[in-house]
Structure formats: C-alpha cells, structure tokens
C-alpha cells in the first residue's frame, strides 16, 4: 500500500437523517421542552451511536468515550430549550459534540500524552483476511493522521469527510463563517495528506 494509492477513507460514514427521522427528532425536542423525561431517553437511544462515532472521530480517545458521550448529553439537555428549529437538529447536535470535543482536545494536548494507537471497532465483512488486515491498518493510519491536525481543523475535517456535512452546515454547527470553513478544510486536507504520506512511508520502512 503506497501513499499515492491510499484513498480518502470514510470511517463508518454517518448518512444524513431522512425527513422522517428529522421530524421525529423535532417532535421529541418539543416533548423535552415540555419536561417529558421519556422523550429525552428516546432521543438518546436514537442518536447515541451517531454521537459516539462522531466524538471518537473528533477526539480519537476510546478510553474517554463514555465520559464524552455523557457530557454531550448533559450539555444537550441544557441546550434544547434554546433550539428554535433554525437549522436541522443534527446540526444543533453536532454543535454540542464539537464543543465537547474541542474542550477535550485542548485539555488532552496540554497533558502531552502520546498519540493513541486505538482504532474504532469495526466489523469487516467478507472472507478475505488480508483485505480486512489492510482495512484495519488504513483505519489506524487515518486516526494517527487526524491526531496531527489542530483541534479546529480536525472538527471541520471530520464533519466534512466522515460525517458528510457540507460547508454551510458545518459553519452553522461550529459557529464560524462559510469562508472560514472552506479555508480550514483546505488547510486540513493538505495537513492530513502530508501526515498520511509520512505515516505510510514509515509503515513501509518498518514492515
């Protein structure tokens, strides 16, 4: 596997919600605003996997994932009364995820910990163990490359490349301008590609 041949992988891509799913979430938001505790439990069940995947891509910290998910939903519960439906609920939810992830990334990097070797658990279908091993290796390299991005670039990059969000939706979720999103995304892609090439070359030397 060479750096030139390595595609831009989408690690467990998150499809955008359908109209029916979005409408269901909005109904749950209305019930939560009316102090319906069961509605929040249902919202948690519907969105928890997506939130966990997104937080992992944003932070790369499997060991801290449960705490990050819990913090996200604590903040979400506090923030729901301010949701006015001016954007999709997914955008609103990702804004909360991004805030939690940014706070965690800044804290973690201040501690100067080593880069994580953890890889998200995935089920590789098919009967080709060699291909599965290559996919696992590519996943590990991607997360190492993500670790090299600044926190702000990483959020924009993950939302676009792994969550399928467009620049306008990212701008709403992150609270920055459209042009700033485009600038950060362009810079993040350059940094990511450079990091991937270095990591692949190092892996080839040591293999």
Percentage of the chain lying above the pLDDT 70 cut: 75
Q: What is the CA radius of gyration of the chain?
A: 18
User: What dihedral angle (degrees, nearest 10) is formed by the CA atoms of 11, 16, 17, 19?
Assistant: -160
Residue linked to tokens 């792994």: 162
Q: What is the pLDDT of residues 120-164, one digit of tens each?
A: 444 444 556 666 566 667 777 888 889 899 999 999 999 998 888
Compute the C-alpha angle 61/62/64, nearest 5°: 70
Range in 28-37, 132-141, 166-175, 179-188 the model is least confident about: 132-141
Mean predicted confidence (pLDDT) in 9-17: 52
The domains found in the chain, sorted by start residue, are 13-114 (1.10.1740.10), 126-207 (1.10.10.10)
Percentage of the chain lying above the pLDDT 90 cut: 50
Residue linked to tokens 């306008």: 168
- Residue 65 or 1, more confident: 65
DSSP state of 82: G
Residue linked to tokens 């969550």: 163
Alpha helices in 80-206 (DSSP H): 89-110, 129-147, 151-161, 167-174, 178-206
């Amino acid at each position: 596997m060479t750096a030139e041949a390595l595609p831009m992988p989408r690690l467990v891509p998150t499809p955008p919600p359908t109209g029916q799913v979005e409408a269901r979430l909005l109904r749950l938001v209305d019930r939560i605003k009316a102090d319906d505790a069961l509605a929040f439990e249902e919202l948690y069940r519907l969105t928890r996997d997506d939130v966990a995947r997104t937080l992992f891509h944003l932070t790369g910290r499997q060991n801290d994932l449960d705490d990050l998910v819990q913090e996200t939903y604590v903040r979400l519960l506090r923030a729901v009364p301010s949701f006015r439906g001016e954007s999709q609920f997914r955008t609103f939810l990702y804004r909360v995820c991004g805030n939690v992830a940014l706070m965690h990334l800044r804290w973690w990097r201040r501690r100067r910990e080593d880069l994580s070797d953890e890889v998200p658990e995935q089920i590789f279908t098919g009967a080709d163990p060699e291909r599965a091993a290559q996919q696992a290796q590519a996943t590990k390299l991607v997360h190492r490359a993500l670790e090299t991005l600044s926190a702000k670039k990483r959020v924009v990059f993950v939302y676009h490349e792994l969550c399928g969000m467009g620049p306008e939706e990212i701008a709403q979720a992150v609270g920055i301008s459209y042009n700033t999103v485009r600038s950060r995304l362009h810079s993040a892609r350059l940094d990511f590609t450079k990091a991937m090439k270095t990591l692949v070359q190092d892996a080839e030397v040591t293999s």
